[in-house]
Amino acid sequence: MVSAEQQPVAATQKLRAHVVRPRPSPAPSVQDTGSALAALLIKAGYLTEEQLAYARRVQSKLATPATLLHVLHDLRFVTPDQVQRTLRTNQVSVRLGDLLVELGYLRVADLKAAVDIQQGTQAKKKLSEILVEGHFIEARRLAEVLASQFGLVYVEPNFAELDQELLARGSGKSYAEHLFIPITRQDGKVVIAFADPLDKRAREAAESVFGKDLVPAIATRAAIHDALAFLLRGVNQPKTTVLDDITMVGLVNAIFEAAVQEKASDIHFEPMQDRLRVRFRCDGRLVPYKEFRKELAATITSRLKVLAHADIAEKRRHQDGHIRYEDPPRGLMIDMRASFYVTVHGEKIVLRLLSKRAELLDLAELGIAPNMLERFRNDALDRSTGIILITGPTDSGKTTTLYSCMNHLNDMHSCIVTAEEPVEYVMEGISQCSIHPKINVTFEETLRHMVRQDPDIIVLGEIRDRLSAETAMQAALTGHKVLTTFYSEDSIGGLLRLLHMDLEPFLISSTVICVVAQRLMRAVCLNCAEPYTLTPAELHRLGYGNTDLKGATAQMGRGCSLCRFTGYQGRIGAFELLVLDEMVKDAILARHTAHEIRRISLASSGLVTLLEDGIAKAARGLTSFQEVLYHLPRLSKPRPLRELRRLLGEA
């Protein structure tokens, strides 16, 4: 586990020197950190004085502040490998937070937020603990940076591979109190993994047991805690150890409850070469939850298979299942769709949480711009016949929009019949059918019967193939209103995908009355939002000049406890509404290209693209421009902000 290239004696001397050396006062700033690193790079021969002077001039003229090391990287004066080698062979006496900022692992705003948290806590925690607990940085990355800073080796303690004789020399209580653990012997010396290489008490405790001539290494706190958990339970043969049912039930239940508390939409159990990683998808992004020992992967997988009614013995094929978790004392009831996917390291499991909580929103609460919403109501929803397509990729909010439309149309004078897989929200007064292929309630069978129910409005959960598309069009031709969802990049892409199903262009142009394309972006946390100025590079990616965003009030979240220190809380939709007028219908009949149909739609039907709607929302500070650039397709040059606000009806 320890590289032969390490120099243990020199590393030990460096660590000792750093531990006994008092911290400088006042503490160095981020700028001082860059200067210290630059001096070491010059000393190592990787950088010249002339290059450093030029980099400083470039840094001083940047519109958006950047660290000196970032500028040196952009100018290609130094490489990350050269910086890594310099850190490993030289001791840098700087604050950890400043070093992380200079290396690009942490933003200045994140460092400030972490320091504020540290100062606000009664029990003073170390900055490294707060950075990991607040998800500012991954524990593994932090340990690697610390290893580079002090010229030590990063290790991952694996209880099954630890030297049992060395472990027996110390006590589990001492290991747990000071967070260190013996790993192995190397060249006659004992390698000790420390969670904090600056903890003088931990160093003294290790020396009292293993002597002063030891080799210090660095590991994450979680890895050391995990290894110690086996030691304190008295496990001698961990490879054959199986947790009891009560312990495993509690562990899996704790994961479910944490996912609900974090408002996660998915839980990912990911087997890796040396561990099992668990992550939650929150607000559309995967965030780390916990990592477990590799030995626990099989037991956790078996428990989840039992809950999902899957085949426990089958480990070579993919499986699906459904989990219903209830905890009456806490008022929890969760439905989860389970997917077991066979990988080279074991079975990867993804649980999709099917929330039955209030997903029913009024149309006005969806975040559709005023002019767009008025036109959607008048020119699409209030018409008696035709197909309304709601398009977008997975997890773009299509189902929420579909249910909002159904709620708007649901009254005493309308008969609404649905075919869904599955029914995600039960609505009073609507005949909802959940597809169940195992008992022959298939999509095809349901489509044939639902038109005999004398419906005014037909809702199809999804157009999945040519049959469902043709059924929807035939229903529209016979005087029904049809609402359905579809997978496509944007509104024009939805029309073209129908054409590629070999459907006749005249059927599409005569039945489809409206296409709504949408995406979900993370909303800026209003509790920690700060003004933000776009960089020239971001303006260029948007296709804008310096004056095109005049009047924008862009914001970026600094990070706080309410938003899990991400700067974002909740999500907001971006929408694109295409109402088919005669010119667009003629373009479909003529089988024009997507570019030509888009040009006609922009000119004649008042189309505002997804990108333009996202820009308008980011200009109001509702989301960030980084989210707009990440999530929304850039298919054409957006119009200036002033024009967009006029088209959308925003003040």
- Contact at 8 Å (CB) between 268 and 347? no
pLDDT at position 123 is: 63
509-to-33, 47, 372 alpha-carbon distances in Å? 64, 64, 21
Domain covering 8-230 assigned CATH 3.30.300.160 in the classification: yes
- Output the CATH code of domain 363-648: 3.40.50.300
pLDDT at position 310 is: 92
pLDDT at position 1 is: 43
Q: Across the chain, which distance is largest between two alpha carbons, in Å?
A: 88
Could you tell me which of 228, 225, 241 has the C-alpha nearest to residue 171? 228
Match domain 245-354 to its CATH number in 3.10.20.30, 3.30.450.90, 3.90.1170.50, 3.30.420.40. 3.30.450.90
Q: Which residue positions in the chain have pLDDT lower than 50?
A: 1-28, 235-243, 357-358
Q: Per-domain residue ranges for the chain? A: 8-230, 245-354, 363-648
State the DSSP code for 25: S
**C-alpha to C-alpha distance for 61 and 111, rounded to whole angstroms:** 24
Its pTM surpasses 0.75:
no
**C-alpha to C-alpha distance for 500 and 495, rounded to whole angstroms:** 9
Residues 6+ apart with CB under 8 A from 39: none
Identify any residues that bridge with 25 across adjacent strands, giving them in sequence order: none
